[in-house]
Structure 1
């Protein structure tokens, strides 16, 4: 009996020691992160989803307000329970960020079905209404199955060189992207009255000047630009 008690006590002590060791190791890892310069931490956070970036920042006393200066926005609805929560997060993110911080890359991915294009339009509004973004943004990605009305506003983004659009529908095609070099379209629908946007002269001229890629999974939504 005593031997069993001793063994049990030893096992308990061993488990406690392992837990304490993991805690110490975790604290060491956290210390390694927090001693990095702000620029490096922001660079690291720029590679993860905005929600994770905010959580990582606010849960650490040293980096609590660092997320407001993120130079890259990665919005992905995969980690949210529904679209409304996702929209609220983006609204609060825009409200809380430092509007003077230059932003170079904006990525919006909404895999859930949207009732309308308000979310996408609001993101475009923020991009084009904020000088520290529309004067510096180089890459924009929008993945959302909805009707978008604010695409022409991207003409304000003189530094935009890469545009990736997936699943969107729009009737507005009268916009100019003076610095664009790379265009990627996947299953989009651009409507110019009775004329398909991909048969429009502007798109054909883009194809000859830029790295223009069309991925076509739904033949009824988009025509092959090279046909």
Structure 2
């Protein structure tokens, strides 16, 4: 006992982190010093079935002294409806113990049932990071009148749905954001806006990072998955016509979803980096006729201050379809493009909208047309658009050294007059292949005398 008591507080805290909640409670009676150290429990974690020790876990949590504090609480389980009272008792006890990180991933074993969080979760004064999922339903009628999360900085939502009133004036999602005055990061994964009933606005004056990830790239009313089309009828009342982003402090946006018919309000004045993967419909293809049905121009114009832009093929085509209305993006210095082996017909037109582009990153393979004697696809017109491009750094993240790819590299190096560095991630399985790829690239003529070539090799595909 004496040898342990003489250890620094940090080490005793570390020892205490290996104890269960019940053991930590018992340990506090062994030493006066431990009463103040072990009453701060770094983490309580349960991951498994409620049939395997959850009752003992809850008993340990409920046995914690009144003065105890839990810093991180993680509960991941699948439960039967009759177990909800046990879960809620545990959560109420924890949120009143100064919890800083709350991670809940709770699913109901019976189809057609969703777990409803206890009101205490939404009035926790100390929680700074909250992770909620999966399949939770948060209804404005069930939120407490005094909902408040004054310390919340990071909110992660996984397959969580929000409901509001029929007139759109009340929405649990809007309420939750408005009562989180310090919120800096919001992550929403497995999203399906059309399953919500809400006011269609993401609004926060403090939010700095926003991630929206679509659940599935198909229309919910066409899927044959029973789990996706059941749930209560309220989830199908929203037409997904409009979305607004009122987030003036946002600096990072990752947005992967279908495009609504219109963006009513877009306040992204502080945005620095945007990652866009946007589709019009389940086919994932922009067509010219969509311009009459969908209008993303408010969103496109709202990106005017962006400096770093990452685009998938669908997002590139969106810029292409609305090219005449799209402004010049003077501040964009870096673009990452993932064209997924698709035709590059839209790239020459879109790239001209970024007159101060310094770094161009191509995620997928260089594009070329398959066919005998054909090395350059006509869609890029011999890469003439590169002649006026001010790119200084070119990164190719997938390169195999094929003769067609080498021909594309010839155009990049021979036409980009400001080029200073080319970084190539190449796949090779032998020393001979590596030497051949290096020799081929170094032999290419370069429009810029400052251009250097760096090659990194990988054996596995990516």
Could you say whether these structures have the same fold, taking a TM-score greater than 0.5 normalized by the shorter chain as the test?
yes
Match of 1:43 in 2: 14
CA distance in 2, matches of 1:176, 1:56: 30
Query: Do residues 140 (structure 1) and 105 (structure 2) align?
Result: no
Query: Do residues 186 (structure 1) and 158 (structure 2) align?
Result: yes
Shift of 1:191: 3.5
8 A contact 1:166–1:185 mirrored in 2: yes
CA distance in 2, matches of 1:95, 1:140: 17
Which region of structure 1 is more displaced relative to structure 2, 85-94 or 212-221?
A: 212-221
Equivalent of 1:204 in 189, 202, 205: 202
The structure with the greater share of residues assigned to helix is 1
What is the count of residue pairs matched by the alignment? Answer: 183
Equivalent of 1:126 in 68, 90, 93: 93
Query: Do residues 176 (structure 1) and 148 (structure 2) align?
Result: yes
CA distance in 1, matches of 2:256, 2:163: 14
**SS class of match (2:53):** helix
The structure with the greater share of residues assigned to strand is 2
CA distance in 2, matches of 1:190, 1:168: 11
**SS class of match (1:148):** coil
The 5-angstrom pairing of residues 73-222 of structure 1 reads 73-78=43-48, 82-110=49-77, 113-116=78-81, 117-128=84-95, 130=96, 133=97, 136-146=98-108, 147-173=114-140, 174=143, 175-192=147-164, 200-201=198-199, 204-206=202-204, 209=207, 211-217=209-215
CA distance in 1, matches of 2:157, 2:200: 15
Match of 1:18 in 2: none
CA distance in 1, matches of 2:212, 2:26: 40
Match of 1:22 in 2: none
**For the structure 1 residues 225 and 122, does the alpha-carbon distance in structure 2 shift closer, same or farther, using more than 3 Å as the test?**
farther
CA root-mean-square deviation: 4.3
CA distance in 2, matches of 1:218, 1:68: 45
CA distance in 1, matches of 2:209, 2:159: 17
8 A contact 2:40–2:71 mirrored in 1: no
**For the structure 1 residues 215 and 153, does the alpha-carbon distance in structure 2 shift closer, same or farther, using more than 3 Å as the test?**
farther
Which region of structure 1 is more displaced relative to structure 2, 209-218 or 153-162?
A: 209-218
CA distance in 2, matches of 1:107, 1:180: 16
The normalised TM-score by structure 2 is 0.32
**SS class of match (1:97):** coil
**SS class of match (1:204):** strand
CA distance in 1, matches of 2:75, 2:214: 20
Shift of 1:211: 3.9
**For the structure 1 residues 155 and 114, does the alpha-carbon distance in structure 2 shift closer, same or farther, using more than 3 Å as the test?**
closer
Match of 1:10 in 2: none
Shift of 1:100: 0.5
Which of structures 1 and 2 has the bigger CA Rg? 2
CA distance in 2, matches of 1:98, 1:142: 23
Shift of 1:89: 1.6
CA distance in 2, matches of 1:122, 1:206: 32
The normalised TM-score by structure 1 is 0.58
Match of 1:72 in 2: 42
8 A contact 2:130–2:154 mirrored in 1: yes
Q: 1:46-70 CA deviation, whole Å, 9 max, x = no partner?
A: 3x5x64x7679989xx89x889634
The 5-angstrom pairing of residues 46-65 of structure 1 reads 46=17, 51=20
CA distance in 1, matches of 2:209, 2:43: 24
Shift of 1:137: 2.4
**SS class of match (2:75):** strand
**SS class of match (1:43):** helix
Unaligned runs of 5+ in 1: 1-30
Unaligned runs of 5+ in 2: 109-113, 174-192, 221-227, 229-234, 241-254, 260-462
CA distance in 2, matches of 1:101, 1:202: 41
